[in-house]
Amino acid sequence: MKTNQIKDLSRLCIHTITTKPFNIEQAANNYSANGVKGITVWRDALQNRNIKQTGEMLRQHNLSVVSLCRGGFFPGKEQKKRQEAIEDNRRAIEEAFELGTNLIVLVCGADPSQSLEDSRKQICDGISTILPEAKAAGIKLAIEPLHPMYADTRSAINTLAQANDMTEALNSPWVGVAVDVYHLWWDPNLESEIERCGKNNALLAFHVCDWKSPTVDFLNDRGLMGEGCIPIKKIRSWVEATGFNGFIEVEIFSNSYWKQDQAMFLKNIVKAYQENV
């Protein structure tokens, strides 16, 4: 029945950063009480926590730990910076293992003092360096292409085609892609690249929010689903046409929503998910 389908929350996951003012215990209590079934944990939410016990606490709240955010930031003109990134990604793999998730999302990074091509090469080298550890821990790595407005410092991977190219070059079942509507909605090749990603069995995660118009802050002004101009339902249909049936993850960075009462905001997220995803 249609009514039941739209009320179904079995695939709703929320990123801890979406409700940043909540600590992870508050997030677990509130998500669970509102029928949310999945949680993606940002690493800052684990500070000063026993990670293994935190993972158990989340599962006791009937929450699947969908992924850990985030690894990546591989590029650096200096070798030292690149080596530090490798060490940090190794820590992320350990954290993901302790937490009991099997996916790490990679915000791949970029260094504005070198070319995007150099940054991409270093991203590819970085992922291939940590791949053996990821595989040994049973953890997949999802390359998340970021909107080109972040190509200076956050990611030299800006289209799904580039993420698919890199996934194919790395050619490992432990590497795939995270599709985030905020970063990719504008791309005229999105439908065909989602299809390509699906054919590679590489579509590992699906993130949703909305693009507000106007957007007043390029990082922290994401909208609730239905509040902006992203054709979320259409993109979801392309994602699901590949056979993807995993969690649909709400990832919103918003200075204005973080100022609101988070319990009320959470109710609005659930409503927006039911109506506009």
Give yes or no for residue 187 binding Zn ion (CB under 5 A).
no
Residue 71's beta-bridge partner residues? Answer: 106
Residue 6 one-letter amino acid: I
- Give the total of residues touching Zn ion (CB under 5 A): 3
Distance CA 39, CA 88 (A): 22
- Nearest approach, Cβ of 51 to Zn ion (angstroms)? 22
Alpha helices, DSSP H, located in the chain: 2-7, 24-33, 51-60, 79-99, 116-137, 160-170, 181-184, 190-199, 232-241, 255-259, 262-276
Distance CA 209, CA 165 (A): 25
Nearer to Zn ion, 82 or 104 (CB): 104
Give yes or no for residue 70 binding Zn ion (CB under 5 A).
no
Give yes or no for residue 207 binding Zn ion (CB under 5 A).
yes
Contacts of Zn ion in 98-117 (CB under 5 A) = none
89-97, 115-123, 173-181, 224-232 -> range binding Zn ion (CB under 5 A): 173-181
DSSP state of 11: T
- Nearest approach, Cβ of 212 to Zn ion (angstroms)? 16
- 117: exposed, middle or buried (Cβ count in 10 Å: 0-12, 13-18, 19+): exposed
50-58, 157-165, 178-186, 223-231 -> range binding Zn ion (CB under 5 A): 178-186
Give yes or no for residue 251 binding Zn ion (CB under 5 A).
yes
- Nearest approach, Cβ of 186 to Zn ion (angstroms)? 15
Among the listed residues 113, 109, 123, the one whose alpha carbon sits nearest the alpha carbon of residue 77: 113
Nearer to Zn ion, 82 or 207 (CB): 207
110, 113, 114, 116: CA torsion to nearest 10: 40
Counting every residue, how long is the chain?
Answer: 277
- Per CB under 5 A, the list member of 39, 92, 116, 180 interacting with Zn ion is 180
- Nearest approach, Cβ of 193 to Zn ion (angstroms)? 16
Nearer to Zn ion, 122 or 155 (CB): 155
End-to-end alpha carbon distance in the chain: 17
- Nearest approach, Cβ of 208 to Zn ion (angstroms)? 9
- Nearest approach, Cβ of 60 to Zn ion (angstroms)? 26
48-56, 193-201, 216-224, 250-258 -> range binding Zn ion (CB under 5 A): 250-258
Interacting residues with Zn ion (CB under 5 A): 180, 207, 251
